[in-house]
């Protein structure tokens, strides 16, 4: 660990930033990550269809296929819970079914806001732009489909997250796939497989918090900042350092501190970003029918250049899954902290995330890109700057305000993922270590240091290496998680049936 930290400090030292000779810091980081990305790509983005000798128009990564099939399966297995319990989910987040004295740390709304703050953000801004660049307008259709099926996945994993959570003597909650994979499998006399899956998941969770959330967020936040103020384009290190400082202040406060911040940031960001998108859509309301026709046509009649229908479908599902994180289990960590004794109720609240994140916000971003003609990328931009330019073509002042919004999006996503990653770190290494000087939070502080260092690395890197690494780190969580969900599906189905019966009989009442 000490050697790793010293290497990172050497890599990021200001002397390297200002050295006139030798490779730049971005080149150093790209060179360091390239071999790792190649290895992970071979393993996790392996194409099983091509492996059996079937040649299609595009690659089908096994992790994306895994998520697509799981989303369809759980939608049918839970009898379209994403439709029949939608109205009840709204009542729950309004607090109508809250009971005084329920165990937990945060309200239904705060748990939803914390989880949304980890998903609503640059996946909706940069991710949608990347999807349309790669797959054309038709990718939007498949992103919507991914969001719809993702609602059932999110319901299942968050129900289990709360059911098998762990609450210590101080009332601090720990939950998520690490715990339900371990505890639920042990109850079924599958203790060893459960512990193995839980350990693998915890390792992936820590890696995802560094790469999938942290690096991408700081990278794209700096990209937008540099687009508006080109003079700072060579100062990614200092941007990352400043962001790391402010993130450190918040995350040390724990889930209650994170919930207070995200509970305020998420509504503000949603009103600002979505509000502006709605204005642009309203200005082009007469073109909505034509645009949706373009999206639908592109989904099923994509040109070979975009990989055909398979290429567009995979692109849409890949970006949709990365945006809403359904199936990867991350949100189950946040929802485990909700103040309720009804696991199913929290699962029903959680299924709103893919709907808000992907079905609504990602679709709005796509519409703005298409209305403004930027889906054809006339300026050769990529990621968040492309979306910014699309909005800026209508409102010239928007890119400047979007800098603030993206900083808030990135900030809220990173502090939420720091909580997720820390829970994985604690699961692997424990919370404290006893020394001659007493009990100290070695694991906690070690994790914080690494997390903040990766914030700096992300801001100093190129988008190409970061987006590949981020995709793999987040989406690989789906492998151990969905294996667990498939084993535990009958249990969740029984709990759902019992809950809905009690709700119909009036045994679960409003307050």
Average pLDDT over residues 266-272: 69
Q: How far is the C-alpha of 198 from the C-alpha of 205, rounded, in Å?
A: 10
The pLDDT value recorded for residue 33 is 60
Query: Would you state the pLDDT for residue 117?
Result: 62
Task: Give a yes or no: residue 43 inside a domain.
Answer: no
Total domains present in the chain = 1
Q: Which residue has the higher pLDDT, 474 or 81?
A: 81
pLDDT at residue 66 greater than cutoff 70: yes
Closest CA to 111 of 422, 328, 343, 443: 343
Q: pLDDT at residue 14 above 50?
A: no
d(CA 165, CA 335): 10
Q: Show the domain range for 474.
A: 61-504
Residue 496's pLDDT band, with cuts at 50, 70 and 90, is: very high
Q: What is the mean pLDDT of residues 19-44?
A: 63
The answer to whether position 38 is within a domain reads no
Query: For position 4, what pLDDT does the model report?
Result: 44
Is residue 31 a part of any domain in this protein? Answer: no
The model's confidence at residue 152, banded by pLDDT at 50, 70 and 90, is very high
Residue 80, sorted as left (phi over 0), alpha (psi -120 to 50) or beta, turns out to be: left
Average pLDDT over residues 45-61: 71
pLDDT band at 253 (very low <50, low <70, confident <90, very high): low
Tell me what the mean pLDDT of segment 118-137 comes to: 75
Cβ proximity of 306 and 137 under 8 Å = no
Does the pLDDT value for residue 256 go beyond 60?
A: no
Beta pairing partners, 438 = 435
Residue 368 lies in a domain: yes
User: 389: which residues sit within 8 A by CB, 6+ positions away?
Assistant: 374, 379, 381, 399
Give the pLDDT of residue 100.
64
Q: Which of 225-229, 261-265, 438-442 has the lowest mean pLDDT?
A: 438-442
Spell out the alpha helix ranges (H) of 209-335. 216-228, 236-251, 254-283, 288-300, 308-324, 330-335
Round the average pLDDT of the chain to a whole number and report it.
Answer: 77
- Helix, strand, or coil here: 167? strand
Least confident of 10-19, 99-108, 115-124, 316-325: 10-19
* pLDDT tops 70 at residue 192: yes
Confirm whether pTM is higher than 0.85: no
User: Each residue of 325-378: pLDDT tens digit?
Assistant: 788 888 888 788 777 788 898 899 888 888 888 888 888 888 999 998 888 877
Q: Please report, for the domain that includes residue 337, its CATH number.
A: 1.20.1740
Least confident of 70-79, 220-229, 305-314: 305-314
Distance CA 416, CA 492 (A): 26
Q: What is the pLDDT of residue 72?
A: 92
| Residue 42, in any domain of the structure | no
- Tens of pLDDT along 421-477? 888 888 887 765 443 333 346 667 778 888 888 888 777 776 666 777 777 777 788
Which tens digit of pLDDT belongs to each residue from 275-306?
A: 888 999 999 998 888 888 888 888 887 664 55
Q: What is the pLDDT of residue 319?
A: 72
pLDDT at residue 27, rounded to an integer: 62
Residue 207 has pLDDT above 80, yes or no: yes
Is residue 20 one of the residues assigned to a domain?
Answer: no
Q: What is the pLDDT of residue 120?
A: 64
What is the phi/psi pair of residue 435, to 5°? -125, 180
Q: Structure tokens of 42? A: 């071979």
Residue 477 is predicted with a pLDDT of: 87
At 271, the pLDDT band (50, 70, 90 cuts) reads: confident
Higher per-residue pLDDT: 175 or 311:
175
Mean per-residue pLDDT for 114-118?
64
Interval 377-413: pLDDT, tens: 777 777 778 888 888 888 888 878 777 777 777 777 7
SS (H, E, C) 400-466: HHHHHHHHHHHHHHHHHHHHHHHHHHHHHHCCCEEECCEEECHHHHHHHHHHHHHHHHHHHCCHHHH
As a whole number, mean pLDDT of residues 476-485 equals 90
Q: What are phi and psi of 158, to 5 degrees?
A: -80, -30
340 falls within a domain: yes
Is residue 57 classed exposed, middle or buried when 0-12, 13-18 and 19+ CB atoms within 10 A define those classes?
A: middle
Quote the Cα angle for 78-83-86, to 5°.
110
pLDDT at 108 over 80: no
pLDDT of residue 45: 72
Question: Does some domain include residue 8?
Answer: no
């Amino acid at each position: 660990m000490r050697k790793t930290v010293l290497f990172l400090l050497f890599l990021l030292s200001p002397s390297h930033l200002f050295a006139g000779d030798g490779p730049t810091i971005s080149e150093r980081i790209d060179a360091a990550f390239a071999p790792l990305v190649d290895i992970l790509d071979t393993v996790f983005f392996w194409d099983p269809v091509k492996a059996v000798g079937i040649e299609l128009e595009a690659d089908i990564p096994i992790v994306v296929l895994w998520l697509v099939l799981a989303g369809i399966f759980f939608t049918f297995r839970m009898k379209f819970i994403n439709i029949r319990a939608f109205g009840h989910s709204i009542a729950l987040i309004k607090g109508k079914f809250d009971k005084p004295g329920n165990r937990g740390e945060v309200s239904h709304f705060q748990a939803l806001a914390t989880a949304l703050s980890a998903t609503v953000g640059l996946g909706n801004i940069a991710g949608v732009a990347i999807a349309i660049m790669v797959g054309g307008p038709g990718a939007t259709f498949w992103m919507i489909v991914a969001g719809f099926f993702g609602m059932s996945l999110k319901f299942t994993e968050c129900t289990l997250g709360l059911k098998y959570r762990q609450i210590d003597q101080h009332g601090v909650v720990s939950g998520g796939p690490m715990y339900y994979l371990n505890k639920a499998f042990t109850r079924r006399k599958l203790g060893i497989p459960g512990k193995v899956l839980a350990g693998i998941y915890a390792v992936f969770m820590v890696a995802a918090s560094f790469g999938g959330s942290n690096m991408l967020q700081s990278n794209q936040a700096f990209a937008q900042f540099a687009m508006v103020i080109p003079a700072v384009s060579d100062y990614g290190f200092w941007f990352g350092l400043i962001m790391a400082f402010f993130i450190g202040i918040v995350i040390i406060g724990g889930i209650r501190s994170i919930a207070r911040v995200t509970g305020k940031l998420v509504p503000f960001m949603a009103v600002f970003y979505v509000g502006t998108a709605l204005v642009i859509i309203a200005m082009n309301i007469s073109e909505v029918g034509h645009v949706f026709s373009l999206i639908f046509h592109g989904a099923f009649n994509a040109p070979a250049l975009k990989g055909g229908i398979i290429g567009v479908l995979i692109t849409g599902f890949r970006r949709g899954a990365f945006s809403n994180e359904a199936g990867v289990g991350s949100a189950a960590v946040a929802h485990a902290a909700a103040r309720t004794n009804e696991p199913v109720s929290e699962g029903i609240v959680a299924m709103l995330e893919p709907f808000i994140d992907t079905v609504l916000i990602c679709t709005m971003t796509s519409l703005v890109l298409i209305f403004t003609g930027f889906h054809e990328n006339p300026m050769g931009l990529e990621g968040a700057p492309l979306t910014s330019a699309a909005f800026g073509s209508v409102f010239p002042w928007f890119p400047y305000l979007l800098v603030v919004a993206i900083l808030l999006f990135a900030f809220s996503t990173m502090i939420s993922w720091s909580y997720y990653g820390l829970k994985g770190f604690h699961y692997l290494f424990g919370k404290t270590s006893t020394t001659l000087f007493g009990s100290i939070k070695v694991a906690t502080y070690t994790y914080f240091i690494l997390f903040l260092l990766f914030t700096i690395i992300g801001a100093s890197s190129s988008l190409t290496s970061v987006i590949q690494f981020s995709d793999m780190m987040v989406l690989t969580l789906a492998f151990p998680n969905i294996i667990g969900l498939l084993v535990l599906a009958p249990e969740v189905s029984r709990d759902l049936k019992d809950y809905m019966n009690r709700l119909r009989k009036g045994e679960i009442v409003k307050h």
